[in-house]
């Protein structure tokens, strides 16, 4: 359930790809079950084309999830740079030791590779 909630786009992608594959198989059996072209064409549209549409939709959802992840990562780096490049502090409790004074922030080269 948690996966579905957090990764709805990837779950949707799997669902679409599965449905697309099923549609293609159904379309194939529909077309191969008759020799009459007039009866085959509805299967070409509903099975073949709809199957391709669903596969494309699945790919869209999966790739857009990756792109969204990358965007969030850039967001985190952006925030980190705006915060002065410091690591987040642990909350001070009654027994917690006081944080050591930090060195002044020196910008460093960051590479995504």
Contact window for other proteins (CB under 8 A) among 10-18, 44-52, 85-93, 95-103: 44-52
* Torsional class of 84: left (φ above 0), alpha (ψ -120 to 50), beta (otherwise): left
Interatomic CA distance for residues 12 and 7, integer angstroms: 8
Which of 41, 85, 102, 105: binder of other proteins (CB under 8 A)? 41
How many residues sit in the footprint of other proteins (CB under 8 A)? 35
Determine, following the binding rule CB under 8 A, whether residue 65 of this chain makes contact with other proteins.
no
Q: Which stretch binds other proteins (CB under 8 A): 5-13, 31-39, 85-93, 94-102?
A: 31-39
Q: For residues 11 and 57, which CB has a smaller minimum distance to other proteins in the complex? A: 57
Residues in the site for other proteins, rule: CB under 8 A? 36-39, 41-42, 44-46, 49-50, 52-53, 56-57, 59-60, 63-64, 67-68, 70-71, 74-75, 77-79, 81-82, 109-113
């Amino acid at each position: 359930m948690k996966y579905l909630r957090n990764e709805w786009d990837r779950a949707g992608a799997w669902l679409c790809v599965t449905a697309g594959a099923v549609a293609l198989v159904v379309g194939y059996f529909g077309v191969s079950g008759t020799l009459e072209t007039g009866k085959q064409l509805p299967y070409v549209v509903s099975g073949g084309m709809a199957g391709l549409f669903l596969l494309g939709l699945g790919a869209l959802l999966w790739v857009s999830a990756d792109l969204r992840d990358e965007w969030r990562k850039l967001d985190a780096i952006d925030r980190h740079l705006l915060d002065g490049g410091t690591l987040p502090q642990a909350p001070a409790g009654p027994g917690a030791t006081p944080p050591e004074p930090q060195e002044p922030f020196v910008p460093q080269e960051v590479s995504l590779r």
